[in-house]
Amino acid sequence: MSQLQTTLAKSASLEGTSLHTGEKVTLTITPAAENSGFQFRRVDLPDKPFISADVDKVKAVERATTLAEGSVKVHTVEHVLSALVGMGVDNAVIEMDANEPPIGDGSAKPFVDLIKQAGIVEQSETRKVYEIREAIHVETKTGSLLTIVPDNKFRVSVTQVGPDGKFTQFFSSEVTPEIYEKEIASARTFTFYEDVKPLLEKGLIKGGSIENALVIKDDKIMSKEALRFENEMARHKALDLIGDLMLSGKKIMGHVICVKPGHGANTQLAKVVKKDYASMVQMLPPVKIPKGEGVLDINDILKILPHRYPFLLVDRVIDFDGDNKCTGIKNVTMNEPYFPGHFPGHPVMPGVLQLEAMAQVASVVLLRKDGNQGKIGYFMSAKTVKFRRPVLPGDTLFIEAELLSFKRNIASASCRCIVNGEVVSSGELMFAIVE
């Protein structure tokens, strides 16, 4: 899959019946700018207000996911969001002239067909994917268990469990546009007759029928057509999960493992993902990698530091914040001279070399100060050193150093190394500056 963000090539519309009101509705998907994500727009209301696909906007999760901004609401958003995510779209506006999308056949297939009709185009910005590095877990009072564990793909594994264990089904798959369209999108929503009978009697789901849902009554599945998959219910749970999880605002790289998922549990998980991502962003260095030359390129660094290959552990310096703070970069490759001998079957960057990289970046801060040019910074000691995560080949190491004190020829600095926004090591270092 491309690393660039995508949107729709053109607008496309779909007409149908809404589930709850039974009224006609037209849904139009339109292109959107980079980094805008997904937004719903109620074109039937004055000023045509927008509602972001954001878990903070979730107002109800009974039988569907409802978003609200003030008095403006959008019901049953999960199927169209699932289709957009599953088909690899990053940015889109979903316009509707009613308060919910057309139910179609109860699956996401009508929306997949609509996306294919509109076409998908790449944009100029890089796609942002939240790589899960530490397990995330949600457990609800109703018995739902949802966990995300690290994985190099986006995967879902769903166990659907009905009342008294009836209709227990399992589905597990990587999620790519090809797999989503073939294995997930056409799975229809389902419900147990006992749960919807009171709603039917009150006329609250006027658009519902066995044409757009699997209705289970007395251990039998009532449907106008045969099951599309033996485990169609579990696949539809995966479909809902993909849509609900996107309310976190981030596509993820990880394996989502669920038992008895539902809209309430799904949106709880989305809240945790959004919170964890926000916490991670706060640890990011306040810099952007320059597209041109860095603040100091390798030739500048060679003029400041005495180190040479294979012990020079700073490729460039990308930011100075005043006179006392500095951020450097080390691109860790499989060609590092220490990998053949340091856990060769599972190569990781030695912690002591991460510490040395911190010391070298701190030395850049020290040796740029007036009167220190041409001197050498000797690493004397380290305290409060912590190694939190392994650094692997292919990682980009952001190395931060902040000078805490400098008296006579003795200095101390607070340092940390960051990979993918997560602190992997840190410590407080002491130096002696000598001729």
Could you report the per-residue pLDDT of 294-318, keeping only the tens digit for each?
A: 478 888 888 888 889 899 999 999 8
pLDDT digits (tens, 9 = 90+) for 71-110: 999 999 999 999 999 999 999 999 999 999 998 888 999 9
Do 214 and 274 lie in one domain? The reply is: yes
pLDDT digits (tens, 9 = 90+) for 185-215: 999 988 776 665 555 544 445 555 556 678 7
In a domain, 86, yes or no: yes
Same domain, 373 and 312: yes
Concatenating the DSSP letter of every residue in 36-89 gives --EEEEETTSTT--EEE--GGGEEE-SSS-EEEETTEEE---HHHHHHHHHTT-
pLDDT band at 366 (very low <50, low <70, confident <90, very high): confident
pLDDT higher at 155 or 301: 155
* Residues 341 and 397 both lie in one domain: yes
Average pLDDT (22-39) is 94
The CATH code of the domain that includes 348 is: 3.10.129.10
pLDDT at 128 > cutoff 90: no
The 3-state secondary structure of 320-350 reads EECCCEEEEEEECCCCCCCCCCCCCCCCCCC
Domain boundary among 250, 282, 314: 282
Check residue 353 and give its pLDDT: 95
Q: Could you give the number of structural domains in the chain?
A: 2
Residue-level pLDDT at 62: 77
pLDDT at residue 221 tops 80 = no
pLDDT of residue 36: 95
Same domain, yes or no, for 270 and 317? no
Q: Are 184 and 239 in contact (CB under 8 A)?
A: yes
For the ranges 35-49, 192-206, 224-238, 337-351, which has the lowest average pLDDT?
192-206
With a cut of 60, say whether residue 40 has pLDDT above it.
yes
Same domain (yes/no): 328, 255 = no
Give domain status of residue 288, yes or no: no
Give the pLDDT mean for 213-236. 82
Range name among 102-116, 234-248, 267-281 with the lowest pLDDT average: 267-281
User: Which of the listed residues 251, 282, 313 is the one where a domain comes to its end?
Assistant: 282
Residue 269 lies in a domain: yes
Asked if residue 189 is part of any domain, the answer here is yes
Range of the domain at 179: 4-282
More confident residue, 203 or 434: 434
Q: What distances in angstroms separate CA 351 from CA 133, 340, 391, 406, 417, one per listed residue?
A: 18, 16, 9, 26, 10
Domain match, 72 and 154 both: yes
Do 335 and 429 belong together in one domain? yes
Residue with more model confidence, 321 or 287: 321
Structure-block tokens of residue 307: 């180190």
Per-residue confidence band for 289, with pLDDT thresholds at 50, 70 and 90: very low
422 in any annotated domain: yes
Q: Single out the residue in 282, 308, 332 at which a domain terminates.
A: 282
Same domain (yes/no): 96, 133: yes
Over residues 316-335, the mean pLDDT reads: 89
| For the chain, percent of residues with pLDDT exceeding 90 | 60
Which H or E run includes 240?
A: helix 232-245
Q: Are residues 273 and 317 in the same domain?
A: no
Mean pLDDT of 145-169: 91
Do 271 and 131 share a structural domain?
Answer: yes
**Domain assignment of residue 293, yes or no:** no
Mean pLDDT throughout 374-378?
79
Greater confidence (101 vs 225) lies with: 101
Q: What is the pLDDT of residue 313?
A: 94
Assess if residue 289 is contained within a domain: no
Percentage of residues of the chain with pLDDT beyond 70: 91
Residue 335 and residue 332: Cα distance in Å, rounded? 8
Closest CA to 79 of 61, 101, 60, 59: 101
> What average pLDDT does this structure show over 141-145?
92
287 band by pLDDT with thresholds 50, 70 and 90: very low
The answer to the question of residue 287 being in a domain is no
Please report the pLDDT score of residue 285 as a whole number.
Answer: 46
Residues recognised as catalytic = 263, 342
The reply to whether 25 and 121 lie within a common domain is yes
Q: Could you tell me if 266 and 370 lie in one domain?
A: no
pLDDT of residue 290: 42
- Mean pLDDT score of the chain: 88
Q: Report the CATH number that the domain containing residue 15 is assigned in CATH.
A: 3.30.230.20
Q: Whole-prediction pTM value?
A: 0.66
CB distance 175 to 155 below 8 Å? yes
